[in-house]
Amino acid sequence: MNMAVNSNYTDVKNDIVVREKLDFQLDHSLPKYWFGDDPFLTRFFDGVCATFPEGERYFISSVRQLRDQVTDPKLLQEVKDFMRQEGQHGLVHTEFNQILQEQGMPIAELLAYQKKIFAWQLKNFSPEYNLAITAACEHITALMAECFFAKTETMADADYRIRAMLAWHSIEEMEHKAVAFDVMKVAKISYAVRASAMLYLTSHFTLESLRHTHDFLKADGFTLRERINFARKGLPKVFGPKGFLFPMAKSWLDYFRPSFHPWQHPAIAQYQVWLDTFAQTGDPIAAGEAFHQSGK
Ligand SMILES: [Fe+2]
Ligand SMILES: [Fe+2]
């Protein structure tokens, strides 16, 4: 395991590695319903992914607002690397958004709406609250690896290219998961602000994800009755006790412990498999595939 020294969690902490210009072969050969030919699951994931470029721009802005308070050179370097990783995520997800746009998804409308919301938050919430929202979101995105890749069967029906994109994004989220949190500590943001921002973020993100899923299925031409049927069958697959997001429940609750720190949760077991495969092949699809296959 790679070590970094800037925290009390040097035994579990991973380096933040900026990887640029990765090619996931996101082109028109992707199946429209790339998740097991399931329109609901596909459009749910598409809706979440579509929000990443604007979301990541907002994370960068909110950390930048309080970066001046950081004096530790190691944390300053981590802030820089965090921003560069998020920048790369934004680029790849923008590429994916272009494909969704060409499929007829209302991407331009979604992005315009998001721009408005994030601008509103930056203008009307304090810098501290904006950073706390970002730290909360970073905690949730850091759990993606555990949710989607801990068990091989979870993503077995997904297209290998999108699975690889999500694997790469997941492992980098894990690498930089404590950066916004550590800046929040430097800025002495209170527990009440941290906890309330997590509640705000979780409810907002859940509702928005469902709204985007609905809008995308509508844009696909499904009738209201079909959309209701999709939701009836699909919602338990996402939010139910055997659903995608259930494995994050405990880690989500941990965030509300006053003494919580992101590195109290170590990296996913097969993290090193991704690093080793990428080092050997330079191919993010091969690394994603090895990572996926190494689940339990
Ligand atoms: Fe990201
Ligand atoms: Fe992130």
Domain ranges, ordered by start, for the chain: 39-264
Q: How far is the CA of 5 from the centre of ligand 1 (A)?
A: 22
- From the CA of 173, the nearest ligand is 2
Listed in sequence order, the DSSP H helices in the chain are 39-50, 52-66, 73-102, 107-124, 127-142, 144-149, 160-175, 179-186, 191-219, 224-239, 249-254, 271-281, 284-293
**181 C-alpha vs ligand 2 centroid, how far in Å?**
11
pLDDT tens per residue, the chain (296 residues)?
A: 443 434 566 667 889 999 999 999 999 899 999 999 999 999 999 999 999 999 999 999 999 999 999 999 999 999 999 999 999 999 999 999 999 999 999 999 999 999 999 999 999 999 999 999 999 999 999 998 889 999 999 999 999 999 999 999 999 999 999 999 999 999 999 999 999 999 999 999 999 999 999 999 999 999 999 999 999 999 999 999 989 898 889 999 999 999 999 999 888 889 999 999 999 999 999 999 999 999 98
* CA 82 to ligand 2 center in whole angstroms: 7
Q: Quick one: how far is CA 153 from the chain centroid?
A: 20
